[in-house]
Structure 1
């Protein structure tokens, strides 16, 4: 694991053949928690469910939550080794962990995953809707019906499915944190369907927050910029990976460890007066609110 001081400003050329991508095959390995991060019981006794929790931002959030005192269930597609590695990291923090494999684009699976998490962890206080997929296409004509449906099914339909199921168990003081993206605000000429789903997630976050305000359930989002996760080598060719993150003011890709504390903040009492908002963790790119 690279330390904060040693994070590379440029990445070696690499790519993976299929999504969501595998963290254990990446070079360098993403940093999931920075050296010296000390938990302070911000989430003590909480029960959390994180989609896409096996790797990347999801893994970082899972480990940060565990270090802050939460028991954590993670949902993933088929990256068994990454999921088992993340489970070990959760348990190493002295917390209970659970891994659940399946397709979040399937509403029944989402219901079943929530029910199992509630049963195994003893409740549900925090839902992190994080899993996503993206497929690069430079021409709108090349975005097939199947790709369009799949991207929306995974990225935004799943949030409706998972949140509907989770709300049956959540109460006042609970929190939902969604992963949107900088592309929601500035668009992306080569990720048009992906950026569209992220725009939908931002609108979903704002709308749901208003809907749940009377129930005292807060709903917020994080909008990462170029973060070094398995989705990157699984989405782009090796030459583009080499230049990943170079076009932001900080001139480097961010690490999952630099994003996860925003999720901790929004899930904890530190964010008790914040709902319907988006935190931008993007290396300095200026975007509209």
Structure 2
């Protein structure tokens, strides 16, 4: 599983959703921790699927809400909430997995901060495109920096190491020939895929031999496929009804309806389903004759169905 912070950077005092993607089907429980350590004192809350019950834990501040889909909402965030969060998932076969996310909290003073940080450009990554992990405020006296493809600074997860003293750049086990590293620490990844989503760590070796680490996590958005409109008719109390369905394989999308090439204006005879993928007209009148289309979109793309003539 991967975790997406929505929004990627939240203003102090706001709320943020830590949304999970690709949860296993045989889920038994999930547990959220503050930080990278999965110790009891760092546990925020846990959810037991079988009993549909949630339990708060020592690191719960009263501002966290744990949802049944595993997502965690933090309300009224502060600078102290900045940092790593860990999700541990246990399946019914007693196997466990962990996923991490970095929570970014900004204030009105963040732009002028001297603190080391990483910014994802563009803010929302799209499959097949390039992303820039731009480093801000790299220490002027740094000796070396290393990029890792996880939260752990293990050589197996190393992407690249740059030694400023020796003026050398060494590519690691996670180098895929799509990466470019710059002297200021910034990392570019080209032609990204779903496998590139997740956590990245930048470790800085400073002149006093101390190591400073910063983290960045991103989710890779797929380009949506073209939907199509399906219509079924029925007769209710001698009145004709029509149900239009916007059919799409994509999830986490927004849906809009169009009538005769214009955004659909809902009348008293029209009802949209909660997800807006269904449109019901009852009763059908002459004013409803025409072309119907639906449009689906996510943060990086949109697609519109072919027109469907209805009469």
Q: TM class, shorter-chain normalised?
A: under 0.3
Q: TM-score, normalised by structure 2?
A: 0.23
Which one has a larger percent helix, Structure 1 or Structure 2?
1
Q: TM-score, normalised by structure 1?
A: 0.24
Which one has a larger percent strand, Structure 1 or Structure 2?
2
- Considering Cα pairs closer than 8 Å and 6+ residues apart, tell me whether 1 or 2 has the greater RCO: 1
